[in-house]
Amino acid sequence: MPEPVLRVLAFDFGLRRIGIATGDTLTGTAAPRPAAAAREGTPDWDSIGRELRAFNPARLVVGAPYNADGTAGAMLPQARRFASELKRRFALPVSLIDERFSSVEASEALKTRRSRGERRRLRREDIDSAAAAVILERWLSGEPGEELP
């Protein structure tokens, strides 16, 4: 019997913005969504709730910020709190995935697309949501992560 297709929503947590991306296990691809605002690290939970209701995911993935050398990044405690609050509010399984270099990878991909004719100015929220897509694609490709209890 084939595995069921899971829809997944991913987040790139930030103190000002939270990048969001959607994807599924059938295609193994992710697509950026509009970023949610955050105020001093407090997410716009209404905006996040609307995304969850619109997409109806079976799982959530949150980027875990580590330093280049693999040590915990300064934002890791806040990202963990955000992931725990997602799990508490929406009663869905949550995975933490290493997000090292995801913003750099996302920024480069967006710049490449722009050099091919896209005229719109590159905004921070575009990079944040593209980084969430990179994080989600890592999870979809089977990169090991941490499951929240």
- Residue 126's pLDDT band, with cuts at 50, 70 and 90, is confident
- 93 SS3 class: coil
Give the mean model confidence (pLDDT) for residues 102-127: 63
Amino acid sitting at position 112 = T
- pLDDT above 70 covers a percentage of the chain that reads 85
Lowest mean pLDDT, pick from 29-33, 92-96, 135-139, 145-149: 145-149
CA 137 centroid distance within chain: 9
CA 63 centroid distance within chain: 6
Q: Phi-psi region for residue 84, left (φ > 0), alpha (ψ -120 to 50) or beta? A: alpha
Q: What structural domains does the chain harbor?
A: 7-147 (3.30.420.140)
